[in-house]
Amino acid sequence: MDDAFFERADEFVGERLVRRGRPPKSGRTKQLLSVRYDVEVIEAFRETGDGWQSRMNDALKQFLAEHPIKRT
């Protein structure tokens, strides 16, 4: 097994997946960011189940499409 194998491998701690070892599904990467949201916003998205962060991202993208921000 070479380094490339381990870069693509999933990493588990016990039964829990801690790192998915494959490239992003799309050519568009995401940026890790620390941000604070109101508790009710987070709870509302979490209640929708797995994938809530992706749905939150989609909601923000939809907002931007409907409310263009003027950049200076």
Q: Which amino acid is residue 46, in one-letter code?
A: R
The closest alpha carbon to 53, from 66, 64, 42, belongs to 42
pTM for the predicted model, two decimal places: 0.59
Domain count along the chain: 1
pLDDT tens, residue by residue, 8-64: 777 777 887 777 666 556 667 788 899 999 999 999 999 999 999 999 999 999 999
Task: Dig out the tokens for 31 from the structure.
Answer: 């940026």
Would residue 30 count as lying in a domain? yes
Give the pLDDT of residue 64.
94
| DSSP per-residue string spanning 26-40 | SS-----------HH
Would residue 72 count as lying in a domain? no
Would residue 18 count as lying in a domain? yes
Would residue 71 count as lying in a domain? no
Would residue 13 count as lying in a domain? yes
Q: Any residues with CB less than 8 A from the CB of 17 and at least 6 apart, and which?
A: 10, 11
Range of the domain at 53: 3-66
Would residue 39 count as lying in a domain? yes
Task: Tell me how far apart the alpha carbons of residues 30 and 20 are, in angstroms, rounded to a whole number.
Answer: 15
Would residue 7 count as lying in a domain? yes
Would residue 36 count as lying in a domain? yes
